[in-house]
Structure 1
Amino acid sequence: MKLPKSLLLAVGGMVWLTACKTEKDETARTVFFDKSGMDTTVVPGNDFFSYANGSWVKNTKIPEDQTGWGSFYELHEENQKKTKSILDEAAASGAANGSVEQKVGDFYASGMDTVAIEKRGYEPLKAELAKIAGLKDYKEALIYMASDEINRGGVLFGMGVGPDDRQSTINRLSFGQSGLSLPEKEYYFKTDDETKKIRAAFVAYVTKLFVLTGTDSTTARKKADGILAFETTLAKAHKAAADLRDPIKNYHKLSIDELNQRTPNIDWKSFLTAMTVKTDTVLVGQPEYYQALSAALPATPIDVIRDKAAFGYIDFNASLLSRPFVQAKFDFYSKTLYGQPVQSERWKRISQNVDAYLGELLGQLWVKKYFTPEAKERMLTLVTNLQKAYRNRIEKLDWMSPETKKIALVKLDGIMNKIGYPDKWKDYSDVSVKRDAYFENVQSARIHASKESFAKIDKTVDRTEWLMTPPEVNAYANPSFNEIVFPAGILQFPFFDKDADDAINYGAIGMVIGHELTHLFDDQGRQYDVQGNLRDWWQKSDADKFTAKANQVVDQYNNYTVLDNLKLNGRLTLGENLADLGGLAIAFDAFKLTDQSKSDEKIDGFTPQQRFFLGFAQVWRIKIRDETQRAYVQVDPHSPAKYRVNGPLSNFAPFYQAFNVKAGERMYKPEVDQTRVW
């Protein structure tokens, strides 16, 4: 199953989150580029990110409840305030039972009722923990995990339901590598001090959760050590993050009989029956993991498997429980892994959960209040203009044959655009929400999501479905749907403002649109056809030329260094880097069609072309903590903000012309060395 490619990435409960006015600020914006954030002592051709944003970076202090600060973070914060306003109003409305307002309002109110939550402690977990303690062998443990309708597959099976990569009209049950608590496999094996500290903190966290649920500290530590050892065994069979990017090598359609033959210690027929799933065929992304799991299960003491299941259950629900559990989870996942000093206010966390569990109920209220039809129409116009610009670029490519171009243009013309919010909303009628039952409310929403997903197995794909909610500050491309999607939450300044000049809008939201369009033609997306099927539609010579150009991009980003000696992974970030390169070029071509681009009028002392590039750089005005950056380099397919600006611009002749970039400046590359793909 192909996952969507997003402009940004959510990691560790945090979103790559830009300044916008709050709902109380009715003053119309008149300035669309913040000159005060520039550092004009920097030569643009040496470091354009710092030229455009350097003073802001130097003077900005990251709030203690954040892993970073800047454009996306600020817009996310403003959107949370808007969400809070909606939820406060809904919670006080006394709306009819079962209505949208009642469900989101009572869900929020139940999460804010800390008195009731503290009083219950971990009582909501006791019955399930007793079931886990009674498991007699690994076979019973697997059936238990399959039967768990709140978290299907439990802690050992990574599952999802989505379009079959090679038959995109049909949804398949898909299995991927799983079983790890740390972000990726190298956290279990690297021997540097920072990684060893993280492993020690993980053991301490597991120990803490067992102690909080009644285990003595000595036994709890033994359980934690056993879990780490078991996960380390499983990690050996995991693919690295960069290796997960190859859609062909991660596609395996298997019958249940074939899967049983490959993994003889996992009874897949009984497993699927326990999940109440009837299917003869599944997708398995990484069979090596399940083969390793099959070998490990009978060789692992049942106590360790029970402990792994119990820890997974407590960890899965810790944020719903009393303060000691919430604090323990924050201390490890947010503070240790990502360097966030202080937990965010409770209202932010609960409003985020409303969005996570009742997203399209909240979304109905959100767009009614904060997203206008006019904004949607303006976005559709921008998207249309960007697609025209992309078509023109493809037609003029000097490295692609007419045969491949013809199919590429068919795919481009077939892209579906989704703006703001879905045309039809999801049905949450089976979700029970009570004002005094936060834990149960979340479980009801989880069961709903599981049933909704599993009902799609082997059924026709619904291409109207959205994979993000309206308030999100993000965007994505989905190759299996051949679509690009822009939630209402991102369609605000500095990405988009109806009163901004074209240079700013095309440099900002135009680049975002171009970025998502390019994802459908990046090293992964290009392998899917207009119907969203994984199919080789390229002439071999064209594919070879594309690969050669992509390898140049890999080499460029491999040479960028962050945090003194930490190198970027050009393979891991290739898709996003290609999307940034293409997005910038497409947006600039579209901007050249505007009247402003053809004028000489300066605004704030800058030409239209200069404002385009400044507007682009302003979007990436971001500063993040070292711990966060260190984690991102290992798991995030996006490059750091500085290189999302400087990387594409170093390959872009119009930038050289706009800012008179010369040989000898650090970003300068001779034209023959500039990487151009799309």
Structure 2
Amino acid sequence: MPQLRAIVVKPAALAFALVIALGASTDAQAAKKKKSKAPAVPAVCSDFYSSANADWLKANPLGADVASISAMGMLRERTQQQQRDLLDAAMNAPQGKVQKLLGDFWASGLDEAAVEADGSQPIAPLLDRVNAIRKAKEIPAAIAALHQVGIPVVFNFSPDVDLRALDRHIGYFTQGGMGLRDPAFYTRTDAPTRELMGRYLAYVKQILALTGTPQDKLDADAQAVIDLETRFAQVSKPLDQLNDPFANYTVVGVKELGKQYRNLQLPEFLEVQGVSDNEVSMADPQLFQQIDALVKSLKPEQWKAYLRWRIGDSMAPYLAKSFRDAEFNFRGQTLRGQTTPPPRWQQVLDAINQAAGPMLGKEYAARYLPDSNDQRAEQIAGQIRDAMGRGIERNSWMSAEARTEAKAKLDKLKIEVGTPRRDIDYSVQPMGRGSFGGNMLIASTWRHREEMKRIGKGNADRRWDVLPQQPALAYDLAQNRLIVTAAVLQPPVFDTAQPSAALYGAYGALVGHELSRGFDNKGRMVDAQGKLREWWTPADLAAWNALGARVSSQYGSYPYPGLTGIKLNGPLTQDQNLADLSGVELAWDAYLNAEPNADKAGKEAFYKAWAGMWAQQLSESQAAQMANSDVRAPGQWRANGPLVNQPAFGETFACKASQPMQVKEGEDIRIWR
């Protein structure tokens, strides 16, 4: 859960070619004239992406100091500006209580002079609580109190889906409590790691000094912090072992926790968080046994140094400049490679989204999502769902048994557009404009309380895991629901100024992309009843893998834009490419069913809208980074890849099978058509 920090010919070559031509003999020219010339391939049939996006690509050149530009990136930037405009209005002329709270929150963050004058005062009560610890038995209560305000120390505790019953959440106790996320940093001995740990130690000392540690104790306290975090790291799992949900799910009764971890007082911890469920997941007992032992065996002074450090580190981005500079110098420059911090407004906006994002989301949707767009978006999503039903009926690879289950699952699909259907509690205490750090703690405490309410029966669909003000379409596998945020319903995804065909080609195809995830090799793990059960037959899986291999081979033959001699990684991008192909298929089917008399102009608009979403410019370094790690294809191939398999695309633009934008007849890849 989000807490306070614990998608040509070069001119020279052309000139040279002209010189050679002008110097050719008359006989040679005559001989050439006798030869029949191959007809030129129309631009749309050679590289539809470049043809459809020619104006955009010309209007958006890549600057020397810019890594990438994309149509989708511009959408994200627009939504941030919209949020900024909303908060400015709420600050100057709020409409209602929620806007008053948000406007005051925004104003308190933008007032840098006030933030500077506030210093470390917002965290003074937390530090006083820690400094008052005298005995080991007082440590667990301090740990619980910090979790309650959204500062996770020692370990992490958060709600997530109960793998035995996907309609509910339980609380998960998991590893955490380290200032560095990867436990390997604490145990490796290579030179780069030692250098990093040296910088980390210096950062710990800076924060401890800022939180009141006397100069003569800084070295000892900083080493005490590193020692305690190293003890956590030594019994923590490597990061690659945290990705398997089943390996990190072990249900334990709360009463048993009290018996097994007496020093940590975990039942009391849960009570403070407002959790009354009688079960939790505790998948790493070795780690918590170590922590339980350390509570008793280590001196309180070491624990106090560690807790002061975690408070200061977590709250540093929201306090005076000395805190912010220390945090950015290590986490921004050293860890993330940033050269300069983001502008102040961006920092404050990120903070508000982190601590009070749902509040802002409700106001964002009310301001920027017209009812007509909301209704049209839900209508088209429903039509894509119907197309999915037809695809399930007619596809040639799915068994009768799987087809029956898929139809039952589709019948239970929920579609939520704009904001979550189940609203959350907005009864946040007034924050005022006096203290940005204080406001962060108030909002974070509220957010943590709301997260804890997700634990228990019937609460699994409480809120989304994305915010309405973030442009996103997502399929929630556990809840079998399609999520469409308010922010995504604007160009280039949802452009009401364009023909309706464009809505299907862009937004509809993205809906199809996401819906297909409920019925692919991941969706096969959750059945129509919302239970974890593989409902495909072995033959279904083999057929899907065969489709995937063909898609992987197709995309693996494409050159990576901006790189020489590098091909697209077909296996890495396979799942997303399958979903893109599915999305275009389903959206086209929905469009023709909605508009059976669609003309040529409408059909062209459909495909141009699809390609328009993926307009993109990449620097060579950015392309190299993405080629090795991005599970999505670059824009050119997200646009072109699915279309070469669509006979309807070839018919619309009169592309022949011998041309790049059309595969030979019978070789096209079909998933749901």
Measured against the shorter chain, the TM-score band is: 0.7 to 0.9
Secondary structure of the residue aligned to 1:477 is strand
Asked if structure 1 preserves the Cα contact closer than 8 Å seen for 2:453 and 2:459, the reply is no
Could you tell me which residue of structure 2 aligns to residue 368 of structure 1?
Answer: 366
The CA distance in 1 between the partners of 2:194 and 2:500, in whole Å, is 50
Asked if structure 2 preserves the Cα contact closer than 8 Å seen for 1:154 and 1:309, the reply is no
1:615 aligns with 2:609: yes
Could you tell me which residue of structure 2 aligns to residue 343 of structure 1?
Answer: 341
Asked if structure 2 preserves the Cα contact closer than 8 Å seen for 1:107 and 1:435, the reply is yes
Could you tell me which residue of structure 1 aligns to residue 533 of structure 2?
Answer: 535
| 1:121 aligned partner, one-letter code | G
The CA distance in 1 between the partners of 2:568 and 2:259, in whole Å, is 40
The CA distance in 1 between the partners of 2:659 and 2:50, in whole Å, is 18
Q: CA deviation at 1:50?
A: 6.4
1:281 aligns with 2:309: no
Would the alpha carbon gap of residues 543 and 169 (structure 1) be closer, same or farther in structure 2, given more than 3 Å must change? same
Could you tell me which residue of structure 2 aligns to residue 441 of structure 1?
Answer: 439
- Equivalent residue in structure 1 for 2:62, among 45, 60, 63: 60
Farther off after superposition, 490-499 or 568-577: 568-577
Q: CA deviation at 1:633?
A: 8.6
Could you tell me which residue of structure 2 aligns to residue 77 of structure 1?
Answer: 77
The CA distance in 1 between the partners of 2:111 and 2:556, in whole Å, is 49
- Alignment RMSD (CA, Å): 4.9
Q: CA deviation at 1:426?
A: 2.9
Would the alpha carbon gap of residues 599 and 553 (structure 1) be closer, same or farther in structure 2, given more than 3 Å must change? closer
| 1:78 aligned partner, one-letter code | R
The CA distance in 2 between the partners of 1:633 and 1:218, in whole Å, is 50
Asked if structure 2 preserves the Cα contact closer than 8 Å seen for 1:168 and 1:461, the reply is no
- Equivalent residue in structure 2 for 1:325, among 320, 323, 326: 323
Matched ranges for 1:222-233 at <5 A? none
The CA distance in 2 between the partners of 1:238 and 1:367, in whole Å, is 41
The CA distance in 2 between the partners of 1:275 and 1:77, in whole Å, is 36
Could you tell me which residue of structure 2 aligns to residue 20 of structure 1?
Answer: none
Could you tell me which residue of structure 2 aligns to residue 31 of structure 1?
Answer: none
Farther off after superposition, 372-381 or 475-484: 475-484
Asked if structure 2 preserves the Cα contact closer than 8 Å seen for 1:165 and 1:532, the reply is no
Farther off after superposition, 267-276 or 387-396: 267-276
Q: Return 5+ residue gaps in structure 1 as ranges.
A: 4-9, 17-39, 603-607
- Equivalent residue in structure 2 for 1:255, among 229, 253, 256: 253
Q: CA deviation at 1:406?
A: 0.8
Would the alpha carbon gap of residues 123 and 507 (structure 1) be closer, same or farther in structure 2, given more than 3 Å must change? same
Could you tell me which residue of structure 2 aligns to residue 401 of structure 1?
Answer: 399
The CA distance in 2 between the partners of 1:443 and 1:291, in whole Å, is 30
Asked if structure 1 preserves the Cα contact closer than 8 Å seen for 2:586 and 2:672, the reply is no
Q: CA deviation at 1:281?
A: 1.0
Asked if structure 2 preserves the Cα contact closer than 8 Å seen for 1:12 and 1:334, the reply is no
The CA distance in 2 between the partners of 1:195 and 1:554, in whole Å, is 37
- Equivalent residue in structure 2 for 1:505, among 481, 491, 503: 503
Farther off after superposition, 319-328 or 662-671: 662-671
The CA distance in 1 between the partners of 2:649 and 2:294, in whole Å, is 55
The CA distance in 2 between the partners of 1:634 and 1:292, in whole Å, is 38
The CA distance in 2 between the partners of 1:651 and 1:193, in whole Å, is 51
Asked if structure 2 preserves the Cα contact closer than 8 Å seen for 1:338 and 1:631, the reply is no
Q: Percent identity of the aligned residues?
A: 27
| 1:542 aligned partner, one-letter code | D
Matched ranges for 1:138-217 at <5 A? 140-151=138-149, 154-182=152-180, 184=182, 202-215=200-213
Asked if structure 1 preserves the Cα contact closer than 8 Å seen for 2:53 and 2:612, the reply is yes
- Equivalent residue in structure 2 for 1:121, among 113, 119, 122: 119
The CA distance in 2 between the partners of 1:565 and 1:288, in whole Å, is 48
Q: CA deviation at 1:257?
A: 5.8
Could you tell me which residue of structure 1 aligns to residue 379 of structure 2?
Answer: 381
Asked if structure 2 preserves the Cα contact closer than 8 Å seen for 1:477 and 1:519, the reply is yes
Asked if structure 2 preserves the Cα contact closer than 8 Å seen for 1:527 and 1:537, the reply is yes
Q: CA deviation at 1:193?
A: 9.2
Secondary structure of the residue aligned to 1:476 is strand
Could you tell me which residue of structure 1 aligns to residue 107 of structure 2?
Answer: 109
Which of the two has higher C-alpha Rg?
Answer: 2
Would the alpha carbon gap of residues 246 and 380 (structure 1) be closer, same or farther in structure 2, given more than 3 Å must change? same
Would the alpha carbon gap of residues 90 and 473 (structure 1) be closer, same or farther in structure 2, given more than 3 Å must change? same
The CA distance in 2 between the partners of 1:401 and 1:113, in whole Å, is 63
Asked if structure 1 preserves the Cα contact closer than 8 Å seen for 2:388 and 2:672, the reply is no
Q: Return 5+ residue gaps in structure 2 as ranges.
A: 8-39
1:88 aligns with 2:88: yes
Would the alpha carbon gap of residues 270 and 208 (structure 1) be closer, same or farther in structure 2, given more than 3 Å must change? same
The CA distance in 1 between the partners of 2:565 and 2:307, in whole Å, is 38
Farther off after superposition, 391-400 or 217-226: 217-226
Matched ranges for 1:1-80 at <5 A? 55=57, 59-61=61-63, 69-80=69-80
| 2:91 aligned partner, one-letter code | A
Secondary structure of the residue aligned to 1:492 is coil
| 2:403 aligned partner, one-letter code | K
Would the alpha carbon gap of residues 236 and 627 (structure 1) be closer, same or farther in structure 2, given more than 3 Å must change? farther
Secondary structure of the residue aligned to 2:582 is helix
Q: CA deviation at 1:117?
A: 1.1
The CA distance in 2 between the partners of 1:185 and 1:540, in whole Å, is 39
Would the alpha carbon gap of residues 190 and 212 (structure 1) be closer, same or farther in structure 2, given more than 3 Å must change? same
| 1:525 aligned partner, one-letter code | G
The CA distance in 2 between the partners of 1:445 and 1:92, in whole Å, is 21
Farther off after superposition, 201-210 or 526-535: 201-210
Asked if structure 1 preserves the Cα contact closer than 8 Å seen for 2:155 and 2:174, the reply is yes
Deviations 1:115-143 (A, max 9, x none): 22101212322342344356568765444
Secondary structure of the residue aligned to 2:172 is strand
Deviations 1:65-109 (A, max 9, x none): xx854333322332233333332232223777xx22321221212
The CA distance in 2 between the partners of 1:68 and 1:589, in whole Å, is 33
The CA distance in 2 between the partners of 1:643 and 1:180, in whole Å, is 40
Q: CA deviation at 1:495?
A: 0.6
Asked if structure 2 preserves the Cα contact closer than 8 Å seen for 1:155 and 1:178, the reply is yes
Farther off after superposition, 544-553 or 623-632: 623-632
Deviations 1:9-66 (A, max 9, x none): x9999xx7xxxxxxxxxxxxxxxxxxxxxxx9998899876676694698223887xx
Q: CA deviation at 1:225?
A: 6.4
The CA distance in 1 between the partners of 2:45 and 2:450, in whole Å, is 52
Q: CA deviation at 1:637?
A: 6.3
Q: CA deviation at 1:271?
A: 3.8
Would the alpha carbon gap of residues 272 and 194 (structure 1) be closer, same or farther in structure 2, given more than 3 Å must change? same
Deviations 1:596-633 (A, max 9, x none): 9953348xxxxx35x54443343233457889889989
Would the alpha carbon gap of residues 574 and 210 (structure 1) be closer, same or farther in structure 2, given more than 3 Å must change? farther
The CA distance in 2 between the partners of 1:126 and 1:56, in whole Å, is 54
The CA distance in 1 between the partners of 2:639 and 2:359, in whole Å, is 36
Q: CA deviation at 1:175?
A: 2.9
Deviations 1:422-449 (A, max 9, x none): 4564332242311212222221222222
Farther off after superposition, 499-508 or 432-441: 499-508
> Given the two structures, how large is their TM-score scaled by the length of structure 2?
0.77
Q: CA deviation at 1:293?
A: 5.7
Farther off after superposition, 130-139 or 185-194: 185-194
Secondary structure of the residue aligned to 2:519 is coil
The CA distance in 1 between the partners of 2:665 and 2:284, in whole Å, is 42
Asked if structure 1 preserves the Cα contact closer than 8 Å seen for 2:146 and 2:153, the reply is no
Asked if structure 2 preserves the Cα contact closer than 8 Å seen for 1:62 and 1:69, the reply is no
The CA distance in 1 between the partners of 2:628 and 2:235, in whole Å, is 17
Asked if structure 2 preserves the Cα contact closer than 8 Å seen for 1:338 and 1:627, the reply is no
Could you tell me which residue of structure 1 aligns to residue 452 of structure 2?
Answer: 454
